[in-house]
């Protein structure tokens, strides 16, 4: 899959019903975003890290940068040349980059769909991929906290799996999309038996539609980007 996704408007009530998140008082829910790219900060849903002044098991919404930075990376971000915005689910337990976050820091990434480009170089056409009956959902993800230039930074990656039949013409991979009933199970770091969640989301419950080439420019934003071209 290409490195872009979008998130429509999601209310605090929506978050609470789907994830058990208790909304922070006096703060508005995150605004929608229609052209999310690696290195951008977006909200993720996770169990509150140890050391924070909240009860154990508290589900929280927190900002994180897309593109996981391993704990062992201490150089400036400008020197990081390897891509970590996606993580293959088949390799998590063997990866020096993703093994630790998989064991301790699993998270959800709220989304409404993602983009994929098809065609020869220079003539690639963008498509949006979403669900037919759900306006928003969550990708399975991992997050990590690293120390860069003397400051802590939270980052995340999205898990990918083999594609279902519907999206296989677009890409050789697709994000791991979770059902709402599996949200708590995925975030439970004590539960290691989660490989069944990597099964590609049913193609019969997904849709693909062409969108404007304007989505190719990360500076373009707005709901018009997800309209059928």
What is the average pLDDT across 69-78?
87
Burial level of 15, CB count in 10 A (0-12/13-18/19+)? buried
What integer pLDDT is reported at residue 151 of this predicted model? Answer: 87
Reported as half-sphere exposure (CB side, CA atoms, 13 A), residue 39 has a value of 8
* pLDDT surpasses 80 at 50: no
* pLDDT surpasses 90 at 140: yes
* pLDDT surpasses 90 at 154: yes
What integer pLDDT is reported at residue 197 of this predicted model? Answer: 96
Task: Provide, rounded to the nearest whole percent, the portion of the chain with pLDDT above 90.
Answer: 76
Integer-rounded Cα radius of gyration of the chain: 17
* pLDDT surpasses 80 at 52: no
* pLDDT surpasses 80 at 74: yes
What is the average pLDDT across 18-36?
92
What is the average pLDDT across 121-126?
88
What is the average pLDDT across 128-149?
94
* pLDDT surpasses 80 at 105: yes
What integer pLDDT is reported at residue 2 of this predicted model? Answer: 66
**Superfamily of domain 5-20+30-226 in the CATH hierarchy:** SOS response associated peptidase-like (3.90.1680.10)
Q: How far is it, in rounded angstroms, from Cα 38 to Cα 77?
A: 13
pTM equals 0.94
What's the pLDDT tens digit per position in 166-211? 999 999 999 999 999 999 999 998 888 899 999 999 999 999 999 9
What integer pLDDT is reported at residue 1 of this predicted model? Answer: 60
What integer pLDDT is reported at residue 96 of this predicted model? Answer: 92
Q: How far is it, in rounded angstroms, from Cα 18 to Cα 11?
A: 11
| Cα separation values, 133 from 11, 91, 209, 218, Å | 17, 31, 15, 27
């Amino acid at each position: 899959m290409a490195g872009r996704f979008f998130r429509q408007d999601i209310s605090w009530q929506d978050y609470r019903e789907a994830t058990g998140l208790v909304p922070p008082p006096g703060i508005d829910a995150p605004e929608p975003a229609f052209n999310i790219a690696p290195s951008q900060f977006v909200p993720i849903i996770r169990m509150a890290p140890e050391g924070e002044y909240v009860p154990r098991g508290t589900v929280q919404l927190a900002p994180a940068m897309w593109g996981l930075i391993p704990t062992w990376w201490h150089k400036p971000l400008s020197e990081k040349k390897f891509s970590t915005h996606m993580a293959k689910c088949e390799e998590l337990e063997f990866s020096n980059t993703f093994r630790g976050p998989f064991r301790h820091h699993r998270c959800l990434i709220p989304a409404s769909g993602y983009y994929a480009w098809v065609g020869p170089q220079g003539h690639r056409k963008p498509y949006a991929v979403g669900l037919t009956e759900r306006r928003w959902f969550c990708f399975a993800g991992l997050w990590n906290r690293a120390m860069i230039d003397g400051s802590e930074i939270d980052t995340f990656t999205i898990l990918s799996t083999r594609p279902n039949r519907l999206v296989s013409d677009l890409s050789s991979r697709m994000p791991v999309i979770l059902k709402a009933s599996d949200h708590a199970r995925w975030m439970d770091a004590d539960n290691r038996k989660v490989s069944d969640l990597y099964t590609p989301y049913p193609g019969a419950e997904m849709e693909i539609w062409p969108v404007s080439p304007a989505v190719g420019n990360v500076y373009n934003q707005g709901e018009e980007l997800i309209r059928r071209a």
